[in-house]
Amino acid sequence: MASQSFAYTVHINALAVLQGAYTGVATPVYLNVTKGTGIVSVHAGNATVAQDTVQSINYAVDYAASYLGADKNAYNYNFTIVSGGSNISGPSAGLPFALLSIAALKHEQLPGGFVATGTVTQNGTVGEIGGISDKARAAAKAGARFLIVPYAPNDSFEYNLYYVSQQAYGIPLVEVGNVSQAIPYVFGNAAAMPLGFNITVDYNASQLNSTSAICPSCAAQDSNFTTLVNSTFDLLSSAISNINGTAFGSAKNQLMGQMDQYKEIGSRGYLYSASDLAFLDYPEAFLLDNYRAYNVTSAGAVINNIYDYCISATAPQLTTSNYEYVVSAEARYAWAMTDLEAAGEQLNSSQSSDQVFAALVTASRAYAWCSAVQVLYNTSSSMGGTPVAQSDQLQSYASSQIRQAMAKYGNQLYVNESQYSYNIGEYSAALYSLAYANTFYNTSASTNLRAQSNESGIYSMITSSLASANGVWPREFALQSYFYLQQASLAPNASAASADLSAAYSTAQLSFNIDSVDAKISGGLVPVNSTLAAPTPQLSQIEGELNLVYGVVIILIIVVIITLLILIVHIIGHRKEGNQPVRTRRAR
């Protein structure tokens, strides 16, 4: 690029979020380029500019000069940020700074009608930012035709926020991974097309083998579990029906299509797989349904309602017939309360609407868990069986297993959830969470996965698990493994097949681990009012034993008194005999 002999000034509106106010603002930024020696200066009136913002500006200038092939040190760069007195911090204006620098070095004004946000590195990579919802609202309010944002994976929470913000505020969002990808939209004629929303996954439900092919007896045993599956379907369907079809019509239709697939998967016997897939879609549907709850007050009310719903669940009496359902419900209750605690922390520390939405999504998982808890408790109430309680030995075993897991895995989620269950006296539920920890955090299991991640090896694991499984959960996890094994064979590419094989192995391993825990729990349950260590004496028995002790003590006291009386009489008689006159024998 040829050196310019005169100064040139350009300007752009950079998006910022007023921290704690959940409000985005379009902040004017001016750049004056003059002949110089590479000096970069930043001014913001009486406001301060944080070091991370200054560094972002320097990266932007470095990239602009490199992109244009210019000598950076041939110019001075004088940035002026019109902040209205608010202090400036954060690197998220790197992308607009870079576009501003390119325009200034080209001596070309930036076209109006667009705004941009994103961090930037010296090589032009555009990175993630926060507060996208607040910024999109501010961009729409300012009349921008489109908003350029950093690339986000299609299945990520960030992408979901992009879509929600775009549809809610009516402004197209354009994703870029590098500053160079933004150039055609800013300096060229590239049309800004709205982001799409694609959650559709083809599970080839019509090609799945029925579970009867691998487990002929499973269908007859699943009537209670079907209730749980249908309740999860109802939960997702209800959220989908509440979605605003005008703003989010494409997403709503896709979710309905996925729901139809899950029902067919369930009809082929893969009950847990169908329920699990519906469960995983629920947070997305919940976010679309609750997108207006972007402030702390409204989001806090939603979370509090979920909390009240969760604590309203009442556990039935644990019995020999329902313990699997009750224990799994109690484990899910711990997962829900852990999620609610996290949601509260996210909300209390939030500085932008993004963090408020993140808290809502976390709370939505808690609501789904608690919905399952309510169903499992209700189902358990009608299953009969002998009333039982958890023994002291089960408590001791859970305690030792938690200590081992803490030493092995640290403060991982399932470990923390097991600790929560233990602290409220649900030792069996703690063991359920530890089964998940030992499945998904176990590095040796990961090594085995690499060694056994082939269809025949995993199929052997599945058949072995089904042959030994004594409960509903081990059986359902084994069948879920079979579901993913078939998905691997139907996968569209090697990467998807590898992911499905990994899921198949993990769920087969989980089946074994839960079965082992079930056996431990079953052996650690004792009839109500008893423990394995010794029978608890009844009140009448205790009274009888006390009366016996009292009787023995009274007899002993009487014997002692009589003995003392005899001794006293003997001593007195001996003294009288000693006081008689001494009689001597007379001599004859």
Would 309 be classed as within a structural domain?
yes
Query: Are 521 and 563 in the same domain?
Result: no
Would 182 be classed as within a structural domain?
yes
Would 465 be classed as within a structural domain?
yes
Query: Are 141 and 266 in the same domain?
Result: no
How many structural domains does the chain have? 3
**How is 157-198 classified by DSSP, letter by letter?**
HHHHHHHHHHHHHT--EEEESBHHHHHHHHTS----PPPP--
pLDDT averaged per 10 residues in sequence order, the chain, 588 residues: 68 85 89 96 92 96 96 96 87 95 95 93 93 93 95 92 94 97 94 91 94 84 85 97 94 96 96 97 94 86 96 96 96 97 95 93 97 96 94 96 96 95 96 96 65 78 91 95 96 92 94 96 87 38 44 53 55 44 29
Full domain range(s) for residue 558: 538-588
Query: Are 555 and 492 in the same domain?
Result: no
pLDDT digits (tens, 9 = 90+) for 352-386: 899 999 999 999 999 999 999 999 999 999 999 99
pLDDT digits (tens, 9 = 90+) for 102-142: 999 999 999 988 999 999 999 999 998 889 999 999 999 99
Positive or negative, the Cα torsion across 188, 193, 199, 204?
negative
Domain boundary among the residues 506, 527, 548 is at 527
pLDDT digits (tens, 9 = 90+) for 278-320: 999 999 999 999 888 778 899 999 999 999 999 999 999 999 9
Would 197 be classed as within a structural domain?
no
CATH number at residue 149: 3.30.230.10
Query: Are 249 and 392 in the same domain?
Result: yes
Query: Are 67 and 28 in the same domain?
Result: yes
- Tell me, what's the pLDDT at 569? 46
Q: Are strands 126-127 and 75-81 parallel, antiparallel or unpaired?
A: unpaired
214 CB-side CA count, 13 A:
26
Would 94 be classed as within a structural domain?
yes
Would 76 be classed as within a structural domain?
yes
Domain boundary among the residues 494, 527, 560 is at 527
Query: Are 242 and 104 in the same domain?
Result: no
- Tell me, what's the pLDDT at 426? 96
Query: Are 516 and 583 in the same domain?
Result: no
Query: Are 324 and 411 in the same domain?
Result: yes
What b-and-e string marks burial along 528-546, b requiring 16 or more CB atoms within 10 Å of the CB? eeeeeeeeeeeeeeeeeee
- Tell me, what's the pLDDT at 534? 36
